[in-house]
Amino acid sequence: MSLAEKHTKIVKEIAYELGFSFCGISKAGFLEEEAPRLEKWLNNGRHGKMAYMENHFDKRLDPTKLVEGSKSVVSLLLNYFPSHNQNAESYKISKYAYGQDYHDVIKNKLRLFLQEIRNRIGEVDGRVFVDSAPVMDKVWAQKSGLGWVGKNGNLIRPQNGSFFFIAELIIDLELQPDGPIKDYCGTCSKCMDSCPTGALDIPYVVDGSKCISYLTIELKDELFSAEFNGKMQNWMFGCDICQDVCPWNRFSKPHSIVEFEPKADLLDMKYKDWEEMTQELFSKLFTGSAVKRTKFSGLKRNIEFLKNHETKK
């Protein structure tokens, strides 16, 4: 067994000890195939008003510019599929936001991960990333064989689905890379057919400017465009439609992570409860949650729009 293989075995052992669902390795380097795709996506304005997506173009495509001397990208998946869902008569929150903010939960795990690598292997330099830096996490996860990026833009893992957070370690340690797997979307177009706002009109290209997740979280405008009237399907934070309809997610199994469990009252809330929500209740439900990104005012804006333009079911 080569030194790279030995170190890879250790790294993967640590990943599973820390509770990560899956771990894959890629060789750090320039993402040549992604460069023209990213440029075209940005030039077509599919990032909406997320101006930050235009920043650090080179760093997004080359981890060696993010972490000097980096040799490997360690991609990790962590399951967040819940055992229970919200009340059917409620405005909806994406499943990933039911519990504590995943950025905080996973970053703590990653810091332990890097420290444990140093404990067992020696001095290793690197950085940890959880959806908060210019890293193309889905692309790296795909390169490392953890799944394929589907027509809905999500990483899909055969026999496991797509309800996973993605995180990375970019380190200066030579590891044995895993190869990619094939795309199993086939002729299926359920995600595209089910997207109410047309964000998935082109397979494998997400028009972020039309995505309900973008509209309810990233967009800071006081009002939504009239083109989305009656199309939001009562989503007030994020959207899971393209994942819920994906046939591969019939294999999803509930997570076992305490931090991702929802606050006691969250799943029982109904339309009227949300419409009458106060700042105090917002703070009680969402302290330490990803939902705090919208702030109370943002969530109220979303609820008001849904109240006026959606048909409750």
Which residue, chain included where needed, has tokens 């195939």? Answer: 33
Active site residues: 131
Compute the Cα dihedral for 140, 143, 147, 148 and give only its sign. Answer: positive
Between strands 72-79 and 148-149, the pairing is unpaired
Helices (H), the chain: 3-17, 34-43, 57-61, 102-121, 137-143, 190-194, 212-213, 241-244, 271-275, 279-286, 295-309
295-309 helix and 279-286 helix, angle to the nearest 10 degrees? 110
Q: What are phi and psi for residue 295, nearest 5 degrees?
A: 65, 170
Of residues 203, 204, 200, 214, the one with CA closest to residue 48: 214
